[in-house]
């Protein structure tokens, strides 16, 4: 792959990323492109949100939050950028 092709692919990837407002208690699902098993995506609950942790990442065109998720299936806890998940159910604003 050429450098120009790589830049074009990165640009397309960047366009697909969107900032999401995620709150503690939201139910989320991992997106297929980060999953080790795309046919069996993990679902979990958000247990912590750290605002604007990802601000100097080359493939983000925005500052993104780091969310901590406890996956239902495995019980494991994982930290991810919020743009790497899909919100299934969110907690209403107070």
pLDDT tens for the chain, residues 1 to 94: 554 554 455 455 555 566 678 899 999 999 887 777 877 899 999 999 998 887 766 655 667 789 999 999 999 999 998 888 889 988 777 6
d(CA 11, CA 27): 29
Catalogue the E-assigned strands of 1-94: 27-30, 43-54, 64-71, 77-81, 85-89
pTM of the model: 0.74
Per-residue pLDDT at 80: 92
8 Å CB contact between 34 and 42:
no
d(CA 59, CA 62): 9
**To which H or E segment does residue 14 belong?**
helix 3-16
d(CA 19, CA 60): 9
Per-residue pLDDT at 48: 97
Per-residue pLDDT at 19: 67
């Amino acid at each position: 792959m050429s450098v120009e092709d790589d830049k074009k692919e990165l640009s397309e990837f960047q366009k697909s990323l969107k900032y999401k407002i995620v709150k503690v208690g939201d139910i989320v699902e991992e997106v297929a492109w980060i999953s080790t098993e795309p046919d069996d995506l993990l679902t979990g609950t958000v247990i912590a949100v750290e605002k604007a942790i990802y601000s100097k990442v080359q493939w983000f065109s925005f500052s993104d939050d780091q969310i901590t998720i406890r996956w239902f299936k495995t019980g494991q806890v994982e930290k991810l950028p919020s743009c790497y998940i899909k919100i299934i159910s969110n907690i209403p604003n107070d």
